[in-house]
Amino acid sequence: MKTKFGHIQFNSKPENQNFYLNLFSSLGWKKIYQDENMLGLGEENGGSFWFTTPIKNINNDYDGLGINHVGIHTTKQVDVDEVVRFLNENGIEVLFDTPRHRPEFSAGEENTYYQVMFESPDKLLFEVVYIGKKD
């Protein structure tokens, strides 16, 4: 059997679609569908994220059972800093003393794990991270 990543559905408020569209467009993702209740965004390998209106109005607890966060990998360390600028411009607080290097997650002294963590307007936890050679 051979498989690949397909999609993730996020339950989100329709009024936050533009945040996700702008964030993921800046990360190189493309809009593949949008109406008043759903936004689909795709990446070059065919994976997609779908933001759709929730049936219930219950907040997610990322420290409880279920998904803790979604990590998006970049190809350059400077891309993480660009995301931080985007977040600042959109009034989104960065979390956990990020952006920062996490040597405990890197593959040796010549490498780095450089991340920013943040909650979306719907309280979904995201990480944008560069893993690779130190710049």
Which pTM was predicted? 0.91
CATH architecture, domain defined by 68-135 = Roll (3.10)
Contact criterion met (CB below 8 Å) for 51 and 35: no
Q: What DSSP designation does 102 have?
A: -
Same fold: 1-55 with 68-135: yes
H/E run at residue 22: helix 17-26
Burial class (CB in 10 A: 0-12, 13-18, 19+), 116: buried
Tokens of 81: 């800093």
- Chain-centre distance of CA 56, in angstroms? 23
Q: What is the pLDDT along the chain (135 residues), one digit of tens a residue?
A: 887 889 999 999 999 999 999 999 999 999 999 999 999 999 999 999 999 998 888 877 888 878 899 999 999 999 999 999 999 999 999 999 999 999 999 888 889 999 999 999 999 999 999 999 987
CATH class for the region spanning 1-55: alpha beta
Q: What are phi and psi of 23, to 5 degrees?
A: -60, -55
Where do the domains of the chain lie? 1-55, 68-135
CA 41 – CA 21 distance, rounded (Å): 7
